[in-house]
Amino acid sequence: MDQMMGDGGRFPLETWFWEMPICTRWWTTATVLTSALVQCQMVTPFQLFYSFRAVFAKSQYWRLLTTFLYFGPFSLDLLFHVYFLQRYARLLEESSGRSPAHFSWLLIYSMTSLLLLSPLVSMPFLGHPLSSTLVYIWSRRNPDTRLSFLGLLVFTAPYLPWVLMAFSLVLHGSIPKDEIMGVVIGHIWNRLGTSSADLSPPEYTSYTKPSTFAARHRLPIMKAYWYDNLDGDQRLAHDSGKEVTIGELKKLGVFYHRIPDLDGVNQLASERGYRNRDEIVVSPEKMGDIYEEKVKSFFHEHLHEDEEIRFVRDGHGYFDVRDVDDAWIRIRVEKDDLIILPAGIYHRFTTDESNT
């Protein structure tokens, strides 16, 4: 099933807005509104920047938030910052399973760290360092994603923060302290977290009210394990004997459900904002002579920029997903199994030995 599912009555800009997960959506909105208020001279930047004395001596607590919302007046520079903010914040939030609690924990950590470091570097506005932090964390979670900068330079994601830092140095002629701060905070997050840079909050903040869909479809025991990387047909089990739990899959942003009917799939798709879908029958009977070629092509690793749902209506097979350490996890799927693949994760599919 493809990303997005029937909502033809909206304008493209409105659709783009509501497709963003909630934290990214309102952070982007608040950023644009803050610049608009300054542009209309309803507030001034002097009322927005972070000052320890203003916050704690004069009780101007709003500055703890507004310092992350102001990127400057309306300009191409603001457009550039908003693009990076919504793109990489969105990718990170979607990879956390679109859970506001999970992504909020990352934001709280980053904002608190930047506020503590701010007096040391005399930086009144912290929106750019926060955006740089998210870019760095995303780049480390997607080491094989290939990017192009201005159509001239092609590189893999881990180099993105350094490319942006070099570009800022050339453009402004000064050391980009804000981007360096973002890299430092992001690196500490990765070092303190797991190898997959888990976005999970502590247990006491992880409760969220279950949706109607979740209440009806409880998670059963499922089969997932580390791929053994041995030679042999891709349709063999390739079971290393090392189990992967549902919790470990969630840390990668991969969610598993078992749904006995299409109504449940439709409800889940509606809750997650999908508009389009497609259906593929993978079998020797349906594909004939091209079956073997197609199965091999499905097994080529690839990624998508949007979250996707994969639902098995009949038969058996395997979905493989790759973690941030380039190790493959194999998920055994059969009739009524559904998995949610986050944006930006490498994955592949194959039928099993039964070819059904």
Using CA atoms, how far apart are residues 343 and 89, in angstroms rounded to an integer? 12
* Contact (Cβ atoms closer than 8 angstroms) between residue 325 and residue 195: yes
- Of residues 213 and 170, which shows the higher confidence score? 170
The answer to whether 1 touches 313, Cβ cutoff 8 Å, is no
Instruction: Indicate the SS3 state at residue 215.
Output: helix
The secondary structure of 263-276 as a DSSP string is: HHHHHHHHHTT-B-
CA-CA distance, 265 to 278, in Å (whole number)?
13
Q: What are the residues facing 340 on neighbouring strands?
A: 255, 309
Q: Are 182 and 161 in contact (CB under 8 A)?
A: yes
Predicted TM-score of the model (pTM): 0.54
Class for the domain spanning 212-351: mainly beta
The domain spans of the chain are 12-205, 212-351
Which of 89-93, 216-220, 229-233, 345-349 comes out lowest in average pLDDT? 216-220
How many angstroms separate the CA atoms of 165 and 116, rounded? Answer: 22
pLDDT tens figures, 263-305: 888 888 877 778 778 888 888 888 888 988 888 898 998 887 7
State the CB neighbour count (10 A cutoff) for residue 190.
Answer: 18
81 is in an annotated binding site: no
Q: Are 186 and 197 in contact (CB under 8 A)?
A: no
**Cα 105 to Cα 143: distance, rounded to the nearest angstrom:** 23
- pLDDT tens, position by position, 183-223: 999 888 877 754 444 455 444 333 334 444 444 444 444 68
- Name the most confidently modeled range: 47-61, 206-220, 247-261: 47-61
The verdict on whether residue 217 carries a ligand-binding annotation is no
> What Rg value do the Cα atoms of the chain yield, rounded?
23
Q: What is the mean pLDDT of residues 320-335?
A: 90
Give pLDDT, residue 319: 93
Contacts with 167 (C-beta within 8 Å, 6 or more apart), sequence order = 149
Top CATH class, 12-205 = mainly alpha
Report DSSP letters for 124-182, one per residue.
Answer: S--HHHHHHHHHHHHHHH-TT-EEEETTTEEEEGGGHHHHHHHHHHHHHSS--HHHHHH
